[in-house]
Structure 1
Amino acid sequence: MAAATSLKRRTRAPKPISPLSLTGSSDEEREYDETFCEECRSGDAADELLLCDKCDRGFHLFCLRPILVSVPKGLWFCPPCSNLKKPKKFPLIQTKIIDFFRVQRSSDLTQKSKSGNQRTRKRAGTLVVSKKKRKLLSFKPTEDPARRLEQMASLATALTATGTDFSNELTYMPGMAPRSANCPRIEKGGMQVLSREDTETLNLCKNMMERGEWPPLMVVFDSQEGFTVEADRYIKDFTIITEYTGDVDYLRNRENDDGDSMMTLISAVDPSQSLVICPDKRSNIARFINGINNHTPNGKKKQNLKCVRYNVNGECRVLLIANRDIPKGERLYYDYNGQEHEYPTQHFV
C-alpha cells in the first residue's frame, strides 16, 4: 500500500548544470543546482534526492543505508546528523520478555508445554491432504526454550527501537475506523472465506503465542535493509507465519501518510470505505518482514511468503503464509503489492 507523498523543498534538487548556465540565477537556485548525493556523487534522480534539514547535504533514497522507500514527512536528518547507532538489544531476561509480550503467567518459557506440542503435532498431521484441498498449517515452535526467548527478545528489540507497542490483534482507536467498518462484504470483487478448519489453525497459532510458544522467527538488523526477519528453523509450505496487525484506519485518512509499512485491509467498491492497517504505533513481527523488488526477476525469486486477505468470522484479516518450503536462515519476503501494484518497490533490495 503506497502512501502518497508530495514533493517538498528538500527533494527538489535539479541535476547539476554547467557554470555557463548559472548566469542570472539567484543564489538559492545555484544552491539547488549544485546539490548532489553524498554517496554516489550524482545529482541525477532529483525527485529522490533528499536534503538534510540540518546540514543541507543530499542523499538519494536508494543510496541510503538502510534504504528509504518514500520521501519522509516532516523533518529528515541524514545518517551523520542523526547519529544512527545499532539498536540496543532487549535484555534476555524471562520476566521482562513475559511482561513485554503479556505472555500468560501460567506458562513457564523454561519448560516445554507437552499438551501444546502434542496438539500441534496432531493438528499438523490432519492438515496433510491432497493438493487440491490443501489446508493451512500451524507453525512449529522451536523446541529449545532458551532459543524461543532469544526469538522473542529479537522482536522486542525491533519494537523498542521503533517506539512500537506489541499487538497481535487488529486495533480500533478513537478517531480512526471503527470495528464495524471492517466488513468483508464491501470488498471489490468479494473476499475468500477462511474455512472452519483453517480458522481453527489460526486460533491455535494465536493460543500458542499467548503461552509463549513462539513462531521460529528471528528479527535481525541489516545495514542495508534495516530490520528484517529470518526463519530460525525449517518452515513447511502453507504454514501460517503471522497475521498482519496494527491500527485500522480509512485509506482516505492515510493518503498523505509516509508510513512505510501500511497494509491494505479492504479495497472497497466505494473508495471512501477502503481500510488499511497502520503498524507504526502497535504491531507484531509482520511489520519487519520485508518486501521483494518486484521490478526484477531476481527480486521475485526471493519471495517465499504470500499475503492473503480472508473473511474470518465476518471480519477481514490479513495473513502471511509460506508459499514454499523455507530453510533455516533464509530471510522472509513477500510482494507488498499483491495484485494492486501501487507500492513503490523498485528500490527494495
Structure 2
Amino acid sequence: MIFHFVAEFPLVQTKIVDFFKIKRSSGFEKLESKKRKRKSVCISKKKRKLLPFNPTENLRRRLEQMASLATALTATGAVFINELTYVAGMAPKSANRAALEKGGMQVMSREDKETLIQCKAMMERGEWAPLLVVFDPVEGFTVEADRHIKDLTIITEYVGDVDYLRNRETDEGDSMMTLLSARDESKSLVICPDKRSNIARFINGINNHTLDGKKKQNLKCVRFDVDGECRVLLVATRDIRKGERLYYDYNGSEHEYPTHHFV
C-alpha cells in the first residue's frame, strides 16, 4: 500500500469514469486493444515542437494511475477539473488577457496549439499522461513517471480557480501559480488549485539553492498566450525514465517562493 493514512480510491472502472467525468462513449475500455502506429517526429533546429504524451496501453494500469490521483484529490478535499475555472467573486474570464503581460508573453505556435488540443482530447477519452501519484512521508503527495517520457512532452496544464493576485496576498496556500504578471499589478492573476485542480498541484518543486536540487529538475513551467488568453503548461525538459519523480522550479525568474527547506 502506498498511502498509509488515507483511504485509497476504489479501483472500480465505473467510479473512476464518473469521478473524472470521462466520456462513456469514448471507447476508454478498448484503448489497450488498439494498435498504435509509431510516427517519426521531425524537430526543427530552429523551433523544437512540443510533443503529446503517450498514454499507458494497459487498461488496469491506467485505472491505477487515475485512482492514485483520485486518492490524492479526495484526501486534500479538492475536485477534479482540467481547465481554468472562473468563480463568482473572483477574477472573471475577461480578465485573462495575455496582452496585459509585463514585457509580453510568448505566443503558442499553431503546431503546439494543435498538440495541446490533442492532449486535451485524449484526456476526455480517458487517455492520460502515464503518471502515478504516490505519498512520501517527507514530501507528501508527489508524482512519478509510470513509463518513459520524452523530452518536450506536455505533461499537464496547471489549472484551478483564477483570481486576482491582490486578493491572495495573505493567502497561506502553497500551490498558487502565476498566470498573468501585468504591468498594472492590480490586474495580475494567479491560479489557485486548492479547491479545484488536476495532477499539476501534486508535482513538487526543487530546492534551487543546492546543486542536487537543481539536478532533479526534469520539467519546466511555461506560460503561453493561447488565442489571447494566458495558459500555464508543465513540459518535460529532458527524457524522464519510468519511476523517476517529477520536479520543476517553482520560482522561474521571480525568485519569490522560499525553497530552502525543500528536500
TM interval, shorter chain, is: over 0.9
* Cα distance in 1 between the residues matched to 2:234 and 2:226: 14
Q: Are residues 141 and 183 of structure 1, via their aligned partners in 2, closer, same or farther at CA, if it must alter by over 3 Å?
A: same
Q: 2:219 aligns with which of 305, 308, 316?
A: 305
Counterpart amino acid of 1:93? Answer: V
Report the counterpart of residue 135 of structure 2 in structure 1: 221
1:90 maps to amino acid: F
Matched, 1:257 2:176: no
Aligned to 1:130: 44
Tell me the distance in 1 between the aligned counterparts of 2:32 and 2:240. 25
Aligned to 2:30: 111
- CA deviations 1:293-336 (Å, max 9, x no partner) are 00111100100000000001110000000000000000000000
Letter in 2 for 1:264: T
Give RMSD over aligned pairs. 1.6
Separation in 1, partners of 2:188, 2:75: 30
Kept in 2, the 8 Å contact 1:103–1:210? The answer is yes
| Residue matched to 1:92 | 11
- Give the TM-score of the pair, scaled to structure 2: 0.96
Task: Quote the Cα distance in structure 1 between the aligned partners of 2:125 and 2:94.
Answer: 29
SS of the counterpart of 1:171?
coil
Query: Given the two structures, how large is their TM-score scaled by the length of structure 1?
Result: 0.73
Distance 2:171 2:147 in 1: 36
Q: Is the 8 A contact 1:110 1:146 kept in 2?
A: no
**Shift in Å at residue 158 of structure 1?**
0.3
Q: State the match for 1:10 in structure 2.
A: none
Structure 1 match to 2:63? 149
SS class of match (2:238): coil
Indicate conservation of the 8 Å contact 1:109/1:149, yes or no. Answer: no
1:275 matched to 2:194: no
Q: Distance in 2 between matches of 1:325 and 1:267?
A: 30
Deviation at 1:113, TM superposition (A): 6.9
Write out aligned runs for 1:18-167 (5 A): 86-112=5-31, 117-118=36-37, 121-122=38-39, 125=40, 127-167=41-81
Q: Distance in 2 between matches of 1:112 and 1:243?
A: 23
Q: In structure 2, list runs of 5 or more residues that go unmatched.
A: none
Distance 2:194 2:54 in 1: 28
Match for residue 204 of structure 2? 290
For 2:195 and 2:262, the matched residues in 1 are separated by 23
Separation in structure 1 between the aligned mates of residue 146 and residue 254 of structure 2, nearest angstrom: 31
Partners of 2:32 and 2:59 within 8 A in 1: no
Which structure is higher in RCO with an 8 Å CA cutoff and minimum separation 6? Answer: 2
Structure 1 unaligned blocks of 5 or more: 1-83
Give 1:108 shift: 3.8
Counterpart secondary structure, 1:132: coil
Q: Which residue of 2 aligns with 1:314?
A: 228
- Give the number of the structure whose alpha-carbon radius of gyration is greater: 1
Aligned counterpart, 1:246: 160
Residue in structure 2 matched with residue 178 of structure 1 by the alignment = 92
Q: 1:202 to 1:98 in 2, by over 3 A?
A: same
